[in-house]
Structure 1
């Protein structure tokens, strides 16, 4: 570990006996200002294609059989035609296919032929943010409620949490109904937010009180005093526990894809082509119809509809989404390290702290004598004054930290077992873009070129409890269109997510 790391990660790296005040790392407000400030380049360049040599992620690379779909379809001939081309094989892209097939099967439409759905992925299956995140499946309970209520309105603020509750609970339901809990390492233990400063504690209580006044259900939130946290877990800070799970993201999305393909039936066909980067989407108009040509390094596909599920890389194909008004590639870092004590002392919950800039949780153990493996992420504020914004290269890492918030439970001389980076898609509002792409460009004459293209992207580092729900919305929109029905907005969907409320011109 390098000497400078001690300084920049003082609250997590210090090995002294006295607790360290982490206040200097509380940079949520400052990071937002940086996020809203245009970079020096004018105009901001769009994202590049994902790097050819990404760092090795624990989820993807920790065992030879971790990713059975890694190169799936990469050598199969590309179809010349498809009805729907989904660009990106993460939880969003696979989620759109999953939901669309569920809708088709439940509706029992009269169809002339199966709907042809093709998923295209630039690298290996789930090689982007979904395969590189921290593994949390925890919906936010109430943090930032007062801010959202002030910026939007009470109904919008409530829906922010309802969408996350819907998404997380739906995924857990799917896992449990299909018997996938052990296959996906689903762990329920709740999530504890540590509050390092008086301001964090005050703001959290304000958010809780405002949310409760707005009738948001917070019955499962448990406040923990400093003494309770220290006695139970060994961390000298107050906090609160909220419901939550952890999961192996790659295994979950693999199951979702396999389930969707197995249940495509007579209404749809589903294929996946990895290592097939899409380099362009061109618009073709004939006398009777309008189609798109999706250009890849392995050939082209003519398709009726395109779904952009590329999150941080969205501006590569949609360059008007580059810059603060669009989706900003942002690099995050994660590592695994071994605890020096057993699960009886580490316990099982997942954690976050420093205003969400750091998180960690212990992996399930296979035998009682095993020391837990800890997944740790965060630290963007220490790596760069720009918070790693506008960085789309996940082929490099920086020195990370060990969580000495829990004094004596981690060996300061131990080296991380794995370190990796992932690229998140951030937006100025903190919320994703969901809906027809053309609606982002209503006043732009080029907007007509994007009709029947859709997007769900820009989760701002909080995709696991939001992406699958946003994918459901896109699937519903497409299904309504092909079945000549009016799309009905879900009660849990925030209005501000929708592209017609998010112009970028």
Structure 2
């Protein structure tokens, strides 16, 4: 089969790895030398995954016969992996993904998950579905050029709005607690206000249409109970696991041509090439047996280097695992006093959960404060079976300090957990064919032919992964049809896996 041909525009850029990353985690690009471990078999219990009845697919396909052959194998059942299956179903339905087995008129796909369904970063994050509006635009433009920088924001708006549209159209927006409450960047100092306004002005100068409202300290205090500055923009909150669960169920209904299987608690331990004469190209080893397939999609984010060891470490082609910590804290005020918006500042991110009774004090999902862990700041860590006491102490004191009277000092959280993110040198994901980065200039160096990846979201995967999954499905379909893949108008070309096409 022909290699995917990508129509590219290269952007003249220069960068240094010492530039602060988009979420102030510059340390992440200097750590990580060994391939990541497999996900820990006994992770902490997140509010999302361990609330009663929240994960009906937790053990789906974990017993019984293992699917031994497929056209497409998807490794990982989070937002990326399930979105790949969804886009695959839609491509088949629209006739853009050719059927491989004309005898059965089926496209066979299997999702393999190391632990319970959606138990990785998607089932453990902060629940924000918030596209950046203009945050750190100057850095993005300096690194990637104006056109690519604009697309960096466009993909997030496309992804978040499409996810919201799908949930509403299918009638399960309330089921997944989708809330369009908006988003607030909380600015604690005048210097941060100046920086934010400089990014705002740069985005306007670049031609970006912005939807942002600036609030001074008096407005913030009278409206939200905090004596700081703020800038409000569009955004959503969601129960991530429930969204992925519903998306998976909907995917199975799109077309009978897609034969989609799910096997949880089935970690992939290796991916090996099959003999040239074999109908399939790759053999995936699991403790339950072997799966052979033609295409492999790595949707493993922070764990990607376990199966792709050349992607270990902090280099331009590396994905470094980083542990984050989150808790669910009961507020000391009703929802109307807190608002439905999501929040972020330099140290944390949070939002109040929906309530059924207006007088009820909501749970607030709060994460961040990783610097409190001390060096190496939870970098190069894949163990999400424990929490860091120091990070937990800072998170407990965080909201009572910012919002006096709305949160009770010293109150213990109702849940506390950790999860593993995947960071890259530039805080942008790798999307596209897996490459042998030792010699990418030679056609013969394409030794991972048929393997694709969408991973490395730098803690910002919810508004990126859905669209990135769409792109890799487009790429596979283009290869199968022996045609050129053309990037969507919203896709940032620096996301592409080719080292030649990412900024150097």
Aligned pair partner of 1:304 in 286, 294, 305: 294
Structure 2 length normalisation: TM-score? 0.90
Q: Is the 8 A contact 1:439 1:503 kept in 2?
A: no
Q: Is the 8 A contact 2:31 2:320 kept in 1?
A: no
- Partner of residue 352, structure 1: 344
Equivalent positions of 1:95-110 (< 5 A) are 95-107=83-95
Task: Tell me if 1:37 matches 2:46.
Answer: no
State the secondary structure of the residue aligned to 1:345.
Answer: helix
CA 1:395–1:479: 2 relative to 1, 3 Å: same
- Offset of 1:80 from its aligned partner? 2.0
- Offset of 1:280 from its aligned partner? 0.3
- Partner of residue 457, structure 1: 455
Q: Is the 8 A contact 2:270 2:284 kept in 1?
A: yes
- Offset of 1:32 from its aligned partner? 4.4
State the secondary structure of the residue aligned to 1:285.
Answer: coil
Aligned pair partner of 1:494 in 475, 478, 492: 492
State the secondary structure of the residue aligned to 2:498.
Answer: helix
- Offset of 1:501 from its aligned partner? 3.8
Q: Distance in 1 between matches of 2:135 and 2:198?
A: 9
State the secondary structure of the residue aligned to 2:246.
Answer: helix
Q: Is the 8 A contact 1:335 1:376 kept in 2?
A: yes
Gapped regions of structure 2 (runs ≥ 5)? 1-19
Task: Tell me if 1:364 matches 2:357.
Answer: no
- Partner of residue 237, structure 2: 246
CA 1:312–1:110: 2 relative to 1, 3 Å: closer
Count of aligned residue pairs for this structure pair: 470
- Offset of 1:483 from its aligned partner? 2.8
1:317-368 alpha-carbon deviations (Å, 9 max, x no partner): 00011111200000000000111111232222111112xx301110001112
Aligned pair partner of 1:162 in 146, 154, 159: 154
Q: Distance in 2 between matches of 1:455 and 1:53?
A: 26
Q: What RMSD over aligned residues (CA atoms) do the two structures have, in Å?
A: 2.0
Q: Distance in 2 between matches of 1:260 and 1:172?
A: 16
Aligned pair partner of 2:418 in 418, 421, 435: 421
1:56-110 alpha-carbon deviations (Å, 9 max, x no partner): 00001021x1100000000131122111111001100111110011011012777
Task: Tell me if 1:472 matches 2:465.
Answer: no
- Partner of residue 429, structure 2: 432
- Partner of residue 12, structure 2: none
- Offset of 1:447 from its aligned partner? 4.1
Gapped regions of structure 1 (runs ≥ 5)? 1-26
Q: Is the 8 A contact 1:47 1:314 kept in 2?
A: yes
- Offset of 1:200 from its aligned partner? 1.3
Structure 1 length normalisation: TM-score? 0.89
CA 1:90–1:447: 2 relative to 1, 3 Å: farther
- Offset of 1:383 from its aligned partner? 1.2
Q: Distance in 2 between matches of 1:136 and 1:171?
A: 12
CA 1:136–1:229: 2 relative to 1, 3 Å: same
Tell me whether 162-171 or 282-291 shows the greater mean CA deviation: 282-291
- Offset of 1:181 from its aligned partner? 1.1
CA 1:110–1:207: 2 relative to 1, 3 Å: closer
CA 1:98–1:492: 2 relative to 1, 3 Å: same
- Partner of residue 15, structure 2: none
Q: Distance in 2 between matches of 1:59 and 1:323?
A: 30
Q: Is the 8 A contact 1:440 1:502 kept in 2?
A: no
Tell me whether 76-85 or 427-436 shows the greater mean CA deviation: 76-85
Q: Distance in 1 between matches of 2:261 and 2:250?
A: 12
Tell me whether 442-451 or 196-205 shows the greater mean CA deviation: 442-451
State the secondary structure of the residue aligned to 1:270.
Answer: strand
